Structure 1
Amino acid sequence: MRADRLISIILLLQNRGKLTTKELANELEVNPRTIHRDMDALSSAGIPVIAERGTSGGWRLLESYKTNLTGLKAEEIRSLFLLPSLHLLKDLGISEDWHAAREKLLASLPASFHGQAKDVWDRIHIDTSSWRQSTENITAFATLQESLWQDKKLLIHYERADGERRERMVSPLGLVAKSSTWYFIAGVGQEIRTYRASRILSAQFTDETFERPADYNLAEYWEQSSQQFIQSLPTYDVEVELSPTILSRIRFTGRFVQQIRLEDPLSNGWIPASFCFDTEEEAVQYILGFGSQIRIVSPAHLRKVIYHRAKSLVEMMENEN
């Protein structure tokens, strides 16, 4: 509704200081023309919104203006009381603080809302851990976390995926949890890089300070970085036919398969499917695990590789007997 959007604009400007038309449009999921009409409506209603022109311009409220809009809808209250990932809060050392803040927030609400807020805890629970959780040892996590608030450069020693160890002077910018894995985002010269936190062996503060980029947004950086990483991943596509007896197992495939497309069964009952692996070796290991229940359509080279792999396995077992 438009009234809700106008209130949202006022609160956004009050909390963030200044926003461009594009930023407001993205935040509220409308087009820029709608924002301009909303600003006209706010001005007509006596709200002191000011438009600043130029490259660093945008919309802002008159500095002396403050709104006391604090009303919360039932849906907004429920969203505030959703429990975030508890084990990630424990990693950050703020699980007790979060529970205390939740109780204070609950106490600040009218009594009529207490039942709705508490009801959320018994109906929705968010768990981002995997079934076979393997906790990573992050030796420098406390230092990495503290560095985000000091704007001082860090000297980190880290181990690359290939085992090589390096030293780097970095400007701390953020921490991101992907599932249960933490990543450290930092500036290195004019670049921004991502380090797996568990591979940072040590981190020491330096006396050298730095200025955070004015336009840096951690969530936007992570989204763009993730997309670039996904697009850069190698792919190995395989066309197969599946025995109907393994269909239930295929729907819950292991870690190797990135995506599967199943088609309508053939006249013999077998089901055409498309697999996408990272590498040929992953395809070999996965398909061999199903034995004669998967027929390879393409690539033809993969059939030869699996044939020779299976033949060598049989020969080894025969020799052992």
Structure 2
Amino acid sequence: MKLERLISMIYKLLNHEVLSASMLAEEFQVSPRTIYRDIDVICAAGFPVISYQGNKGGFGIMDGYKMDKSLLGSYDVASLITVLGSLSSVFEDERAQGTIERLQTIGTEHQTPSLTVDFETRRTDPDALPHLRTAITERIIVRFDYINAQNERTTRDMEPVRLHFKYGNWYIYGYCRTRMDYREFRLSRMMNLFLTRDTFQLHDEVTKEAGSSNTAWQDQVEEVVIRVGPEALAEAMDQFHQMDKQFHDDGSMTMRIPVYRPLKARWLWSILLSFGSGAEVLEPIELRSILKEQLQNTLKLYEVI
């Protein structure tokens, strides 16, 4: 622990002009006397620490002294700092903040950031990500209520393995003790999450996509063809950017979207209905009937009583 404290102190001194002994003592939860001893050790190791006297005095590193920049270029450092800064704010991770301070010592001063990252968390419980990160690190079983794609509510016990951020949403992957298999859960559908007192050992993961199951999955992919009006082009591009597109002279667009079991894909129905009159499903015909029924059911809710 002492070595880790000394290393952290060195990087803090490199990133600040002056730090008082009391400030460092509070930061590292030790006495000022311990800080003075640590400073002596740092000086003995060859770091040019200067002592400043007075009310605003403290310790600092000699001007012009910098860490070796040969390991990473300024572009690499700036990108890493940006990503780590976003993760640090999401997970409230002090270790990530410490890494940022170390990277700043080899970065280019006063460089204008060319990259920003926003890991949006408004769709999740603000405590969910830090709790799950802790559970993954310490291998603690978590329990939560979950609403699946069929709108069924169940309680799950899970051995969390890793977090994903994809398609603008956070997901947790791990071994579901309720289903006795590996599952992936979307955080926005999780409720009442808490860490139990039970721990676990990692299982041997089995990749479901291997072998014949992958072929079976591909066999159930069907192409959905939609005609998008000029007023809904931006929304459609946001949702299906990489899909096959054909633009027409009247400003409309035809999109071809491969979807796994589209007649069961409620997520797809929601997106298509959100376009309103700006998009029309051309194929498959059965999907048109499903959307029509969904619209009729919605209209019934607003009929005058």
TM-score, normalized by length of structure 2?
0.49
TM-score, normalized by length of structure 1?
0.47
